[in-house]
């Protein structure tokens, strides 16, 4: 009986191992070539930055939603005037609702979306309710979002991810960005206390570094991960504005990507990295991914994974129907079968470990062998051992590239052959699969809420600081300097010396390149200024000119009670306040422009005062249709795409084409570079 049980397990292992081996070979021999060099990071700045809506469903997230949104707004490398965060809360979740309302009072970009039903409903219902609110928001404010990004309340969003999402949603309808769990720095002291959380890092690194890229390259169905999921506005234009998410599904994200595939809308996966230079001078690649803390207790991990397994393998689709569906290609059907079989495959490792341990011991100890040496079953076990080593090698490569060598060693070599983290991860998956089978056979307990969620925590401000962008990071991202040069300059830089000053002194960058990076870092905006478009406003040109010369700024556009100024160096808040008082306006917005353009602009204003003529940008500012930040972004785009300002504003989503036509037709507006 032991022989035949072992033989059945070994044969099943062989079947599943061949399946894994196929995807490994496909990725390394064909997949990488197909997905390599699909974009260059510096190209992200050459397209208009459009309005983005971030959708965050929240239930009992009072502890994390505040720090999460604060970190997003302070770290993201994207104009805040083009970003809106919609947080779905419930009327009976008072603590979370109060936290979101506090954020909404401080930041005009944050909106509390109070659900019409008491919570918890399903996560899908919450998302559908948020989406309905967003679409009404568009109609009321005459806006059009370029894309919608779904995130969780505990996410740490990469600063470059919004620029990447904006760029990709111009080319693709649906995009999934990588998700990599946050893990404590591996050491002997932290190995066992964080063992469960580390298994998430192992599995996500392997799946999102190699698994999903292989599915992307092969044309298989790429599933949504539920966070970092980007949906272009064109999808809603095609599918309509009905309920997008299946409210009966526990894995509404996976079900949505499957429904998209049925409609012929492919989900694309992008694994893109940016180079960074660490404090010790090493050059590392940091992937543009969503990061979050996953459960670290067995109970919470089993609860979460059982929801995933039940929702995907039991609830989302019937394998027989998928195999008969002609809308799916053969490779797509195969990838879905791979997801479906998890409810069986996850049950094999534990009995397999017992048989394998006995087999290995029988080679060295006087035990009755399960399989006689040299028999078919004996060779089958040897082949499976080779396959198991291959799987560990593949996981080690993924961990090394995502987390570094230390994590690769901790995950795959302690101890060798049967790493503890892998064994423990399989134990968690085994228990979660048993729980999923129980749910499938007997249903959920009556007292169980529909939203199957786990408790969340968030990083400390000190830990979040390492994910913030610095000047060197932006210089590398824009390809203005190479990593080796940056590392060398960082070593030579004096303790109190600024990096930008050192780079200018040694001639590695120009002053304009430095200002452009500072504009991104400070989120003020940068554009090429045309001095011939500058003009004064009011009856005191001499007084205004004196103010402009004193602060080395020039006026780009005048609003009703505001002015947009261009400068070549950062201005303090006190200076901006003084400018507002001296210019007699309520609001002063400052953007960066090349130093030579500021000098020429002051000369133009001193020599002559161009006549007043209607300009689109100023008219829109006076009418309150756009903000100064929107105008700065449109002017920035004209540097790469010399199109009419109105067309760019419409593409950004801050101006409706119908409104543009009315304004141009009614007022005889002249479109110039300055608006």
| Mean per-residue pLDDT of the chain | 89
Please state the three-class secondary structure of 197-255 as a single string: HHHHHHHHHHHHHHHHHHHHHHCCCCCCCCCCEEEEHHHHHHHCCCCCCCCCCCCHHHH
Do 516 and 528 lie in a common domain? no
Q: Is residue 234 part of a domain?
A: yes
The pLDDT of residue 667 is above 70: no
Q: Is residue 3 part of a domain?
A: no
Do 488 and 620 lie in a common domain? no
Global pTM value? 0.92
Do 497 and 531 lie in a common domain? no
Q: Is residue 365 part of a domain?
A: no
Domain range for 499: 470-520
What integer pLDDT is reported at residue 452 of this predicted model?
61
Per-residue pLDDT of 570-614, as tens digits, reads 999 999 999 999 998 999 999 999 999 999 999 888 876 554 555
Do 29 and 127 lie in a common domain? yes
List CB contacts of 439: < 8 A, sequence separation 6 or more: 306, 310, 314
Smallest CA-to-CA distance from 455 within 222, 41, 153, 91 is with 153
Do 493 and 549 lie in a common domain? no
Do 482 and 501 lie in a common domain? yes
Do 492 and 587 lie in a common domain? no
What integer pLDDT is reported at residue 136 of this predicted model?
95
Specify the pairing of strand 174-176 against strand 110-114: unpaired
Query: Is 462 buried (19+), middle (13-18) or exposed (0-12) by CB count in 10 A?
Result: exposed
Rounded to whole angstroms, how far apart are CA atoms 386 and 370?
Answer: 19
**pLDDT band at residue 439 using 50, 70 and 90 as cut-offs:** very high
**pLDDT band at residue 380 using 50, 70 and 90 as cut-offs:** confident
Rounded to whole angstroms, how far apart are CA atoms 507 and 501?
Answer: 10
Contact between 307 and 251 under an 8 Å Cβ cutoff? The reply is yes
CATH of the domain at 515: 1.10.40
Query: Tokens for 1?
Result: 């009986």
- Report the percentage of the chain scoring pLDDT > 70: 94
Terminal CA-CA length for the chain: 83
Give the CA radius of gyration of the chain: 29
Do 565 and 507 lie in a common domain? no
Q: Is residue 126 part of a domain?
A: yes
What integer pLDDT is reported at residue 669 of this predicted model?
57
Do 488 and 559 lie in a common domain? no
**pLDDT band at residue 322 using 50, 70 and 90 as cut-offs:** very high
Q: Is residue 603 part of a domain?
A: yes
Do 481 and 623 lie in a common domain? no
Averaged pLDDT for residues 380-400? 88
What integer pLDDT is reported at residue 375 of this predicted model?
76
Domains identified in the chain, total number: 3
Do 504 and 537 lie in a common domain? no
């Amino acid at each position: 009986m032991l022989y035949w049980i072992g033989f059945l397990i070994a044969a099943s292992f062989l079947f599943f191992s061949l399946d894994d081996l196929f995807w490994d070979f496909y990725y390394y021999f064909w997949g990488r070539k197909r997905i390599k060099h699909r974009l260059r990071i510096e190209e992200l700045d050459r397209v208009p930055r459009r309005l983005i809506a971030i959708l965050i469903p929240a239930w009992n997230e009072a502890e994390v939603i505040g720090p999460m949104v604060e970190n997003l707004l302070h770290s993201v490398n994207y104009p805040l005037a083009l970003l809106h965060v919609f947080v779905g809360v419930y009327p009976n979740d008072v603590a979370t609702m109060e936290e979101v309302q506090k954020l909404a009072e401080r930041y005009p970009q944050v909106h509390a979306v109070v659900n019409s039903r008491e919570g918890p409903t399903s996560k899908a219902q919450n998302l559908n309710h948020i989406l309905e609110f967003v679409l009404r928001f568009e109609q009321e404010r005459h806006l059009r979002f370029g894309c919608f990004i779904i995130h969780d309340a505990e996410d740490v969003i990469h600063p470059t991810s919004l620029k990447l999402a904006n760029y990709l949603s111009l080319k693709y309808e649906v995009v999934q960005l990588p998700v990599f769990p946050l893990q404590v720095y591996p050491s002997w002291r932290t190995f066992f206390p964080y063992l469960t959380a580390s298994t998430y890092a192992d599995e996500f690194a392997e799946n999102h570094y190699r698994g999903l890229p292989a599915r992307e390259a092969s044309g298989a169905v790429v599933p949504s991960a539920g966070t970092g999921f980007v949906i272009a506005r064109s999808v809603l234009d095609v599918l309509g504005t009905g309920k997008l998410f299946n409210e009966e599904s526990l894995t509404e994200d996976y079900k949505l990507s499957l429904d998209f595939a049925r409609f012929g809308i492919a989900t694309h996966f992008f694994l893109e990295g940016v180079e960074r230079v660490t404090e010790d001078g090493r050059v590392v690649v940091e992937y543009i991914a969503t990061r979050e803390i996953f459960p670290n207790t067995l109970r919470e991990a089993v609860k979460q994974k059982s929801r995933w397994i039940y929702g995907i393998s039991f609830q989302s689709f019937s394998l027989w129907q998928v195999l008969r569906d002609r809308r799916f290609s053969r490779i797509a059907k195969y990838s879905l079968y791979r997801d479906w079989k998890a409810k069986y495959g996850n049950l094999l490792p534990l009995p397999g470990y017992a048989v394998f341990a006995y087999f290995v011991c029988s080679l060295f100890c006087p035990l009755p062998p399960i399989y006689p040496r040299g028999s078919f079953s004996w060779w089958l076990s040897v082949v499976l051992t080779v396959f198991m080593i291959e799987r560990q090698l593949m996981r080690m490569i993924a961990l090394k590239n995502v987390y570094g060598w230390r994590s690769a060693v901790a995950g795959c070599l302690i101890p060798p052959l049967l790493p503890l983290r892998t064994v423990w991860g399989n134990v968690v998956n085994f228990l979660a699969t048993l729980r999923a089978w129980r749910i499938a056979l007997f249903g959920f307990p009556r007292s169980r809420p529909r939203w199957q969620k786990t408790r969340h925590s968030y990083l400390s401000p000190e830990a979040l600081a390492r994910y913030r962008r610095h000047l060197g990071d932006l210089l590398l991202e824009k390809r203005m300097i190479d990593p080796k040069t940056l590392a060398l300059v960082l070593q030579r830089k004096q303790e109190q010396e600024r990096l930008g000053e050192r780079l200018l002194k040694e001639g590695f960058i120009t002053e304009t390149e430095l200002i452009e990076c500072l504009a991104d870092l400070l989120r003020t905006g940068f554009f090429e200024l045309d001095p011939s478009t500058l003009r004064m406003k009011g009856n005191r040109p001499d007084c205004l000119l004196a103010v402009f010369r004193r602060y080395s700024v020039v006026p780009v556009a005048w609003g009703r009670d505001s002015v947009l100024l261009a400068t070549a160096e950062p201005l303090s808040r006190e200076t901006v306040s003084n400018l507002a008082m001296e210019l007699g306006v309520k609001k002063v917005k400052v953007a960066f422009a090349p130093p030579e353009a500021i000098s020429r602009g002051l000369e133009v204003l001193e020599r002559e005062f161009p006549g007043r003529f209607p300009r689109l940008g100023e008219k829109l500012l006076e009418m309150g249709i756009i903000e100064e930040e929107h105008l700065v972004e449109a002017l920035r785009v004209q540097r790469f795409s010399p199109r009419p300002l109105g067309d760019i504003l419409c593409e950004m989503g801050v101006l409706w084409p119908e409104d543009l036509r009315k304004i141009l037709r009614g007022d005889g507006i002249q479109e110039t570079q300055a608006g």
